[in-house]
Structure 1
Amino acid sequence: MKNILLFIAAALIILSCQKQTPIENVGETDLGFRAFKYGEVVNTLYGGQTIEVGTVTVGTTGDESGDIYVRFETLDGWYIKETHVFVGTSGADIPTNKPGNPRIGQFPYGTEYDYSDHTTVVYYPTLEYDPEESFVIATHAVVYTDSGQEETAWGHHDDGLVSNTKFSGKRWGWFQGYTYQQQVIPETNLIYVTEFVDGYLLIYQVDAETGQSTLIAQESLDASIGQSIIGAAWDPDSNIFYFISEDGTQLWGIDFDVDNAAFLIGSLEDVAVTGTVVGNTYYYVDVNNNIWAVSLDSDMEIISQTIIGSLDQSLNIHDIAMSPDGQFIYVVVENNGETELLIYNSNDLINSSSANLGNNEVQIAVDEDGDLHAIEETPEEDNSIIHDLNENSGEIENSNDISVDVEDVATGPRI
């Protein structure tokens, strides 16, 4: 029975190491493996995030062993200095450091070559795998040219057969997940939460189902930001984490794909109290309950700032969030001592529904599936509670403790 490689998504954490010696090729000689390629997927090898430097082919041998093969091949003018490969049953097994950056030195398969070799093809013919299980693969290389250009490279799928999962740390890179016969590994929805401690902004990923938290970033912030932040938001397309300075006047960003400090995007036209993002537009509510749309270009420069509507000035706004498709705006307000969830159509700001949340002061985030979550800080030290929030009834479900004093929350990735 033919086995076809299909994509599944997976999550990330840590593993140990063993080595396999690959077959290497200087030039373009066919090593014979083409005869038993079976159910393979071809990924693009990207250097420096955007430079197409070659391909990484992943397939199964088709024999009783059920082994996997991986083949790196560079384009003309590019050569291979190092390769590293991880194969496992879950992205949770990929070796990473605490912020979630891959530790390629601990990948189970790896090789190095001399510059004088001009290696263009590296082939791992038999990476052991149980054909009854799904698997994930991360493929890394260091490539170079004769002119001295050297780049870190990762395999990335471009053709729609599989999808790619970014590592959760600030350095760039991806892994892919595969399965046989459309067998599916459950996905996990994460949200980002922030905490401000002794001048440091701490960013955690929190499992929306279990409340388990993982510290992924720690930023020493510019003094002009203040002693806390508001308006935390994350854009899955750019992998930029947004926030507003304590005084509500500056929009900042952190690029999770690179290991750089937070950067100032620009000044806001009015003083913000909360904010969120969808695509290349950051939305914030000002002190007069006006909703602003801040349009950004690809260089993270502000193009325009426009008031798109206003909310009742009698409302005390606690937090806002938007559905992933940008269709609905969720607003948490205090109204006559009660906390309410208001839902607006974003195109006309007509209130489509509301729900009473009692006297619990909460912040909200929408995961990538569109499910709404409420996060409530408790009087206990290093403790908050994450709830699933029924947007229609306001009922709180599936509550779990988070070992963080949460200050702000944002959408996170589905992995």
Structure 2
Amino acid sequence: MFRRTGALRDPVTLSLDGSPIQAERGEPIAVAMLATDTFILARSPKLHRPHAPSCLRGGCDGCLMRVGGTPNVMTCLVPAAGGEQIETQNVVGSRQADLLRVTDWFFPKGIDHHHLMAGVPGLGAVMQTFARKVAGLGRMPTEGEPAREARRVEADAAIVGGGVAGLAIARRLSSKGVSVVLVDDGLALGSALGPTELGAPGVQVFSRATAAGVYLGEILVASLEEAVVVRAKAKIFATGAHDGMLAFPGNDMPGVFSARALCVLAARGIVPDGPVVLAGEGFWADELERRLGGGEAVVRVEAESIAGVEGTAGVKRVLVRTHGSEASIKAEILALALPGAPAFEVAAQAGAEVRYVPDRGYAVVCDERGRAGEGLWAAGECTGSDFEPAAIEAEALRVADDVLAYLGR
């Protein structure tokens, strides 16, 4: 499915279900596994269908694995350091052949275990017990985690999101002497186009950290090492958007990716080793086609024409509607370039108003200055904008200037 375009520069060895695999130091574990053509990483919790990463940003369940005795680890957000013990979870058998997949064959349209055998004396209780044992996500950690530190931080401005918009705002505010806290849940700051240096040493950065919520006007930040409560006069949300998805049979099958995720792989020198069907338009569609070299490597179709995919453990053919009939395109990868669903949730909890945007979902409402409420701003895709780096950066600078005015700088 994938291949590396170059040799490893700083190789490390990981253990996957007892077998060694090679990785580039610092790259996400899930990316390392895809690069070795290991694409079935997880199983769906009820029917045990094979799953693989589709977004590479912690937004799907396709890379959930047990790492070092800890269950349900998003391996797309864990950098390879060498020596990691990675195990498949929720299987009876192996990653490739999970015996519990038989439930999918018996119940191809799904299974409602709450009503199965209900009312039959004795059998209902047996079915519930069986369902609890075969479903779920992972087993308890091997060891309990110790209590972590908690502290408070105060700043003039807090920015949630370290992509194009968040970085541009942080640089502008910092250059004017504003104390800034920047929170980002990625492995590195920047967009899917590649890591980006902040270039503002005065900014306090919490990377691989999640803005878990806003309570009484303060942002709760959860990181691997600690919990931090951030109090800031200005709160700016540059949280981006979730990758878009289409509803079609087999849309959770290994081989269905967002175009943005494939750009992440290409930026790390990992590309498909066969043709890609690319559905949709926009920045990520054009960027992916450019990175893959276009030509016969990419077959572009309209998103509305996708009728489904065929395969068992992964995509083998993509079904496309053409002139009232269906055509089958042989491919192992379907890339979806769709409008993103704005990540509005944390901004809404902070008090920002949201509105429904057709084909996208709910987005943060703000005025031309980016103001979303008293002491609140939003910029970028979370407001319903398309991902266009130059336009987002210009918007972010307007927001930064208004924050400066608000703070009297």
- Coarse TM-score class (shorter-chain normalised): under 0.3
Report 1 or 2 for greater relative contact order, CA contacts < 8 Å, sequence distance ≥ 6.
Answer: 2
Which structure is larger by alpha-carbon Rg, 1 or 2?
A: 1
TM-score, structure 1 length as denominator? 0.23
More helix by share: 2
TM-score, structure 2 length as denominator? 0.23
